[in-house]
Amino acid sequence: LAYIAPEQTGRMNRGIDYRSDFYSLGVTFYELLTNKLPFETTDPMELVHCHIAQQPLPVHQLIPDIPNSVSNIINKLLAKTPEERYQSARGIKADLETCLEQFNTIGEVSDFPIATQDICDKFQIPQKLYGRQQEVEQLLTAFEEVSLGKTGMILISGFSGIGKSALVNEIHKPITKKRGKFISGKFDQLQRDIPYSAISQAFQELIRKLLSEPEITLQNWKNQLLEVLGNNGQIIIDVIPEVEKIIGKQPQVEQLGATESQNRFNLFFQRFLNVFCKKEHPLVIFIDDLQWANLASLHLIEQLISDSDNQYLGASQF
């Protein structure tokens, strides 16, 4: 875990390629030169957060004898996004050979511009978003308001393929930096008869992430959920089956009429949601293809967004 790239944590919503290995190489170089890892925490979740959001102390600040150029090479390898790292092994090799040549010739490594021979030999479409700074700022502003305790919803529209999903994904990293949780679901035209399908999908993703956390953290989630759900946990399990893996088997609930059953579900789903909407970890839900949502799903979304008790909740929807 100490050597994985930010995109390998599963929290960045970005693809993994050969440049992830360059990050791991940077961690290895860092450790070889300083006898320390860039991030020395033993807590797995804290370590994941560090890889995503924290900058390690440059090696030349830890050991002043290390040349700035060597430190710059390692810093570039440890860049948070693949686009900022070296794009080829050839570029890394060229800079290391320059360091070696200088050391063999003059006995030291002087400053020189790195990555001048770093040319990618394959066509690579960057995952970085261009030309949408104003829209990104609006999303980030909305997220900042949610982080301060508000509830908000943003509707995003546009033609298919125009980059709506890429726009929303651009705020994934700022959310993670604030230890927020970002989940997503998609309504399907062919599943309009399934209530809450996209919401269920989003929370299944969240539960799977929770199941990867340490046992003591998982027990804390279990205690919080059981406290707010009481003997009504099966109501949530019926919609999000993965919840049973956290809270265990639950008793069946009393059968009610359609309206009463709907009201009961809305009440306990709101309590369930509030467990994850906290100041220390605000929640953002991304719902795609809202036009295919059925009436029950729309009513639930309306209730969650309009309820003043739901703080630290944000939703972006198409």
Residue 178 to residue 46: CA distance in whole angstroms: 12
Q: For residue 115, is it within any domain? A: no
Q: What residues have CB less than 8 Å from 296, skipping those under 6 apart?
A: 195, 196, 262
Residue 50: inside a domain, yes or no? Answer: yes
Q: Which pLDDT score is estimated for 150? A: 80
Query: For position 198, what pLDDT does the model report?
Result: 93
Across the chain, where does the E strand assignment appear?
A: 151-155, 181-186, 283-288, 313-317
Is residue 22 one of the residues assigned to a domain?
A: yes
| Number of structural domains found in the chain | 2
pLDDT of residue 88: 95
Gap between the Cα atoms of 168 and 32, Å rounded:
39
Last residue of a domain, one of 71, 106, 141: 106
Does a structural domain hold residue 112?
no
Pair 101, 138 in one domain: no
Q: Please say whether the beta carbons of 281 and 311 come within 8 A.
A: no
Residues 313, 222 share a domain: yes
Q: Are residues 100 and 13 in the same domain?
A: yes
Angle of CA points 267, 231, 258, to nearest 5°: 45
pLDDT of res. 317: 59
For residue 317, the cross-strand partners are 155, 287
66 within domain boundaries: yes
**Distance of alpha carbon 48 from alpha carbon 179, whole angstroms:** 10
What local confidence, expressed as pLDDT, does residue 23 receive? Answer: 98
Please check whether residue 120 lies inside any domain of the structure: no
- The pTM (predicted TM-score) of the whole model is 0.70
CB contact at 8 A, 7 and 20: yes
Task: Write 54-62 long-range contacts (CB < 8 A, 24+).
Answer: 56/30, 59/30, 59/33, 59/34, 62/34, 62/36
What Cα–Cα distance (Å) separates residue 59 from each residue in 36, 53, 55, 87?
A: 10, 18, 12, 22
Query: What's the CATH number where 163 sits?
Result: 3.40.50
Strands 181-186 and 283-288: parallel
Predicted pLDDT at 309: 67
Range of the domain at 85: 6-106
Residue 263: closest CA among 300, 225, 308: 300
| pLDDT at res. 209 | 86
Same domain, 189 and 40: no
By the 8 A CB rule, do 194 and 182 touch? no
Q: Residue 188 has what DSSP assignment?
A: -
- Does 126 fall in a domain? no
Name the residue type at position 244.
E
Is residue 167 domain-shared with residue 18, that is, in the same domain?
no
Cβ partners under 8 Å of residue 168, min gap 6: 139, 156, 286, 316
How far is it, in rounded angstroms, from Cα 167 to Cα 218? 32
Which neighbouring-strand residues pair with 313?
151, 283
Q: Would 114 be classed as within a structural domain?
A: no
80 and 140 fall within a common domain: no
Per-residue pLDDT of the chain (318 residues; tens, 9 = 90+): 999 999 998 777 778 999 999 999 999 999 999 999 999 998 888 898 899 889 999 999 999 999 999 999 999 999 999 999 999 999 999 999 999 999 999 999 999 999 999 988 877 767 677 778 888 888 888 888 888 878 888 888 877 777 777 787 777 777 877 778 888 899 998 888 888 999 999 999 999 989 988 889 899 999 999 999 999 999 999 999 999 999 999 999 998 888 899 899 999 999 999 999 888 888 888 898 888 999 989 988 888 888 766 666 666 655
281 and 199 within one domain? yes
In a shared domain, residues 63 and 207:
no
| Residues in contact with 79: Cβ distance below 8 Å, sequence separation at least 6, in sequence order | 23, 85
Cα(281)–Cα(175) distance, rounded to whole angstroms? 9
Burial 288-299 (b: 16+ CB within 10 A, else e): bebebbeeebee
State residue 95's pLDDT score.
98
